[in-house]
């Protein structure tokens, strides 16, 4: 049984969380609430301040106002319990205060506790990366007339997701009233609608020439946010101090999705290039002129580079590189044929550390030496001798549960 304190218990979301706990009474119970009025028709006591709470608790769930963090974080640190923050409208100063406690308190923070919205974030990231500058992004968010902050925290999360996939980032434009200039290429428009009882709608448009890609999410009840907060609370029960988000939950069981091999590779190690400034350029220009397909690339210091090519193109690649010895007289070229590229892939690697360490621990324990390594946010690629492929695949699959 997880005992929770609800901050903002008398508010819309506070009441929704209380209802969600009541519907999940086998796993949760509310021991106390906090509300400025100190009143509420609940089965649990409601206090004006967290400092008045004496009931033992396992976690705090907060959907109130930003100022509450200044009392709740010291309380969580003292009681050694996690803090789940669903509050929006946090300022840069608020975030700095939250960051200052991340080494001593497990903190879960999200501008939107819906799993669907957080899946939307992943889809938006993928779309932004795939569509690039050919499509112009715009966000429209809609909420009820009681919402006090604009744009919504979720809209800003979506904007940040899009901006993270732009080399130069995006400049946010909040509405276009008084604007008398055309849309700029790095612009991202964010527009807010307030009215009635709209729970929450977020529409992301990628607008291209003669076509539009739309990724949207609509919430029909606040219960989805309350249930998301309970799921976050359960998730945080085993977490160490640090900052966590709904992305950690969305990707909890999807850190890794693929493990596959690419056979028929050859490794070429090039060193002692005379001109370290232009030498690397000369290498790849020579290979491009010879129509050589280069896959993995790893630079290991000045004047050194390793790369893989298809085994069937190894002879042509070596011939192209030998032509460089006229200008790079000390250049050394070492080749290894019969190499296999092993790829570990998963979208969750972007937010989960330690995957690379596990991969290399497995290879080391199996007596396998990586010959070349390249990585990205969601991939680890390792070149190994082909004779060890079966051993490596089985060991990594068992260790990482693939």
Model confidence at 276, pLDDT cuts 50, 70, 90, reads: low
pTM summary value: 0.59
CA-CA distance, 36 to 220, in Å (whole number)? 28
The number of residues in the chain equals 402
pLDDT, residue 348, reads 64
pLDDT(95) > 80: yes
Known catalytic residues are 143, 147
Q: What is the mean pLDDT of the chain?
A: 90
Identify the CATH number of the domain defined by range 115-219.
Answer: 3.30.360.10
pLDDT, residue 254, reads 54
Are 57 and 5 in contact by the 8 Å Cβ rule? The answer is yes
Angle, helices 223-236 vs 115-131, to 10°: value is 90
pLDDT, residue 345, reads 81
pLDDT in tens, 287-336: 999 999 999 999 877 778 999 999 999 999 999 999 988 888 888 999 99
Mean pLDDT score, 201-227: 94
Model confidence at 55, pLDDT cuts 50, 70, 90, reads: very high
The arrangement of strands across the sheet holding 187-194 comes to 171-174, 187-194, 136-143, 200-208, 211-219
**Would you kindly state where each structural domain of the chain is located, as residue ranges?**
2-109+224-250, 115-219, 258-399
pLDDT(286) > 60: yes
pLDDT in tens, 28-41: 999 999 998 877 78
- Give me the residue label for tokens 């590189």: 321
pLDDT, residue 363, reads 92
pLDDT(255) > 60: no
Query: Which CATH architecture does the domain made up of 2-109+224-250 adopt?
Result: 3-Layer(aba) Sandwich (3.40)
pLDDT in tens, 2-16: 999 999 999 889 999
Beta bridge partners of 299: 305
pLDDT, residue 351, reads 61
Which of 95-99, 276-280, 292-296, 336-340 is the least confident region?
276-280
pLDDT, residue 17, reads 94
Mean pLDDT score, 107-113: 89
Mean pLDDT score, 131-137: 94
Q: Which fold has domain 258-399?
A: VC0802-like (3.30.2130)
């Amino acid at each position: 049984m997880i005992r929770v304190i609800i901050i903002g218990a008398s508010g819309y979301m506070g009441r929704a969380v209380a209802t969600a706990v009541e519907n999940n009474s086998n796993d949760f119970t509310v021991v106390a609430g906090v509300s400025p009025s100190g009143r509420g028709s609940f089965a649990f006591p409601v206090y004006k301040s967290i400092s008045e709470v004496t009931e033992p608790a396992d976690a705090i769930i907060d959907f109130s106002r930003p100022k509450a963090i200044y009392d709740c974080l010291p309380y969580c640190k003292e009681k050694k319990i996690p803090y789940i923050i669903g509050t929006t409208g946090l300022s840069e100063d608020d975030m700095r205060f939250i960051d200052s406690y991340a080494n001593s308190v497990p903190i879960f923070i999200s501008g939107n506790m819906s799993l669907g919205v957080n899946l939307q974030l992943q889809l938006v990231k993928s779309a932004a990366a795939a569509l690039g500058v050919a499509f112009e992004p715009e966000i429209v968010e809609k909420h009820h007339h009681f919402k006090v902050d604009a744009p919504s925290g979720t809209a800003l999360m979506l904007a940040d997701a899009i901006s993270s996939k732009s080399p130069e980032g995006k400049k946010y434009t909040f509405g276009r009233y008084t604007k008398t200039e055309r849309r700029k290429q790095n612009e991202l428009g964010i527009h807010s609608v307030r009215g009635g009882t709209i729970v929450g709608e977020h529409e992301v448009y990628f607008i291209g020439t003669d076509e539009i890609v739309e990724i949207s999410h609509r919430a029909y009840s606040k219960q989805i946010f309350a249930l998301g907060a309970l799921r976050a609370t359960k998730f945080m029960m085993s977490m160490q101090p640090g900052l966590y988000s709904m992305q950690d939950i969305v990707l909890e069981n999807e850190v890794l999705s693929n493990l596959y091999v690419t056979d028929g590779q050859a490794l070429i190690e090039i060193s002692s290039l005379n001109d370290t400034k232009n030498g690397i350029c000369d290498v790849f220009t020579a290979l491009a002129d010879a129509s050589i397909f280069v896959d993995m690339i790893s630079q290991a210091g000045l004047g050194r580079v390793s790369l893989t090519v298809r085994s069937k193109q190894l002879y042509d690649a070596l011939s192209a590189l030998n032509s460089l010895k006229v200008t790079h007289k000390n250049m050394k070229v070492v080749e290894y044929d019969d190499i296999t590229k092993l790829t570990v892939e998963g979208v969750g690697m972007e937010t989960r550390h330690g995957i690379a360490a596990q991969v290399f621990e497995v290879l080391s324990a199996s007596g396998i030496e990586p010959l070349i390594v390249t990585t990205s946010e969601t991939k680890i690629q390792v070149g190994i001798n082909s004779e060890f492929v079966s051993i490596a695949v089985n060991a990594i699959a068992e260790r990482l549960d693939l």
